[in-house]
């Protein structure tokens, strides 16, 4: 199985209860990425995305731009490995 670029992104701020996950899902439809977005118990939103490095970077940038009014802090980490996801979902 071919290795893909994978990013884990945590968004902090006023990111829950504002349609953040739904908007992220809509943005994902415009990119060749797979993964998911979910709310965390500590008030953050976790985004997992994988695909080609440029596509994942462009997707994360589009999410940040689309929802910048709600985001105070973004924490990102990346790695390469086998694909883990099919499609993009809300969890």
The residue annotated as part of the active site, out of 39, 72, 76, 91, is 39
Is residue 80 among the annotated active site residues?
Answer: no
Query: 22 to each of 3, 27, 41, 54, 72, how far by Cα in Å?
Result: 28, 9, 18, 23, 19
Is residue 91 among the annotated active site residues?
Answer: no
The answer to whether 12 and 4 have CB atoms below 8 angstroms apart is no
> Residue 40: what are its φ and ψ, rounded to 5°?
-110, 155
Catalytic residues: 21, 39
């Amino acid at each position: 199985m071919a290795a893909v670029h994978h990013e884990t992104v945590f968004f902090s701020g006023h990111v829950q209860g504002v349609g953040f996950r739904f908007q992220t899902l809509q943005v994902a439809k415009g990119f060749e990425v797979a993964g998911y977005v979910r709310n965390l118990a500590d008030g953050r939103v976790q985004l997992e995305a994988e695909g080609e490095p440029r596509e994942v970077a462009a997707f994360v940038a589009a999410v940040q731009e689309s929802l910048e009014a709600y985001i105070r802090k973004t924490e990102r980490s990346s790695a390469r490995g086998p694909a883990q996801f099919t499609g993009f979902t809300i969890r």
